[in-house]
């Protein structure tokens, strides 16, 4: 007679737990629907951070029947916008959309970044990722990665590569490439992708490490030659271009990705609800289609798994930064 009693007690506990979870979900949804959202993009309009912030903003506005605005707060390498969310009320209505560098590189690169990823923010979710590409001007006599490495060694200090700035993930991808291959190439830092890309297209700089959204049209038109992607798998946008591992350079698997952070003391139930919202928003056909047009793939990793991703990637960049003696400018 004891077994049914135990089973009955277990069933009652399970039902109570389920009701409690439903009540927490309902309370979190009510809290999120109570006031407008502010989605902070700490970079100027027009780039992927801005585009992703607007997709998130629109999705939350539709779900909660609330006003949602995107505030672009560029400056100080993103720190102005980051500080705004750091100081915001931890109620789920102020969210930060940032590229990986602000979460995994700047804490090591900058002596005083002005924020702590671990103690000032709660990880909500990643949103999307884009493949990185190593490409050269078509006038460069190298059609493979191995030929590029050999060329750089045969002509020391004559091959340079453009990146969107010192300490950017694309700069460090180039430094990791140098460390893994022994290539003799020089870094040329620009303030953003566009000016560096223009110099590579014009032949002033022979090589660039960029991402698919920026480089794809020029690769397709023949104005750039893509040698490899730095991702662990080939890009669906450049299926004929090998990964670095396939090109004979193992040990590099880097994508450009973007994520959402909330103020640290945001209630766990609210964070969980936002995770669900993001998973659903970024799996809708309309959002997937908009990202696809830009060469970006939805990529949602939530909660503690997202936090662990940030910690692991931060640890990956520490030795690269130190070995290359990278200092902010």
Q: What is the pLDDT of residues 21-34, one digit of tens each?
A: 566 788 889 999 99
Task: Judge whether 7 lies within some domain.
Answer: no
Q: How close are the terminal C-alpha atoms of the chain, in Å?
A: 75
Tell me how far CA of residue 151 lies from CA of 154, 156, 185, 241, in angstroms. 5, 8, 10, 20
| CATH number of the structural domain spanning residue 77 | 3.40.190.150
Task: Judge whether 1 lies within some domain.
Answer: no
Task: Judge whether 18 lies within some domain.
Answer: no
pLDDT value, residue 1: 46
In this structure, are 47 and 66 located in the same domain?
Answer: yes
In this structure, are 219 and 297 located in the same domain?
Answer: no
Asked if 69 contacts 114 with a C-beta cutoff of 8 angstroms, the reply is no
Q: Which residue has the higher pLDDT, 8 or 134?
A: 134
- Quick one: average pLDDT of 144-156? 97
Sign of CA dihedral 202, 203, 208, 212: positive
In this structure, are 220 and 259 located in the same domain?
Answer: no
- Structural domain span for residue 208: 131-229
pLDDT at residue 7 greater than cutoff 80: no
The number of beta carbons lying within 10 Å of the beta carbon of residue 67 is 12
**How would residue 12 be classed by pLDDT, with cut points 50, 70 and 90?**
low
Task: Judge whether 187 lies within some domain.
Answer: yes
In this structure, are 56 and 117 located in the same domain?
Answer: yes
In this structure, are 300 and 319 located in the same domain?
Answer: yes
User: Domain total for the chain?
Assistant: 2
């Amino acid at each position: 007679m004891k077994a049914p009693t135990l089973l009955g007690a277990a069933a009652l506990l399970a039902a109570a737990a389920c009701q409690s979870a439903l009540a927490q979900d309902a309370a979190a949804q009510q809290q999120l629907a109570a006031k407008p959202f502010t989605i902070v993009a700490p970079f100027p309009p027009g780039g992927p951070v801005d585009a992703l912030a607007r997709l998130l903003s629109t999705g939350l506005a539709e779900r909660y029947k609330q006003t949602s605005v995107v505030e672009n707060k560029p400056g100080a390498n993103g720190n102005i916008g980051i500080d705004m969310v750091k100081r915001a009320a931890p109620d789920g209505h102020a969210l930060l959309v940032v590229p990986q560098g602000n979460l995994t590189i700047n804490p090591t690169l900058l002596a005083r970044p002005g924020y702590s990823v671990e103690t000032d923010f709660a990880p909500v979710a990643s949103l999307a990722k884009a493949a990185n590409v190593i490409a050269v001007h078509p006038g460069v006599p190298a059609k493979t990665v191995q030929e590029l490495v050999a060329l750089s060694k045969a002509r020391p200090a004559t091959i340079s590569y453009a990146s969107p700035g010192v300490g950017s993930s694309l700069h460090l991808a180039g430094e990791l490439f140098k460390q893994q291959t022994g290539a003799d190439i020089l870094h040329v830092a620009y303030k953003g992708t566009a000016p560096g890309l223009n110099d590579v297209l014009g032949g002033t700089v022979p090589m660039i490490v960029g991402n698919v959204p920026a480089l794809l049209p020029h690769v397709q038109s023949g104005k750039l030659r893509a040698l490899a992607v730095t991702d662990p798998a080939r890009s669906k946008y450049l299926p004929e271009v090998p990964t670095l591992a396939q090109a004979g350079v193992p040990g590099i698997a880097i994508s450009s990705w973007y994520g959402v952070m909330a103020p640290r003391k945001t209630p766990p139930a609210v964070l969980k609800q936002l995770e669900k919202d993001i998973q659903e928003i970024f799996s809708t056909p309309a959002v997937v289609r908009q990202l696809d047009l830009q060469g970006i793939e939805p990529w949602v990793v939530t909660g503690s798994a997202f936090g662990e991703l940030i910690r692991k990637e931060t640890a990956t960049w520490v030795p690269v930064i130190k070995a290359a003696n990278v200092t902010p400018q």
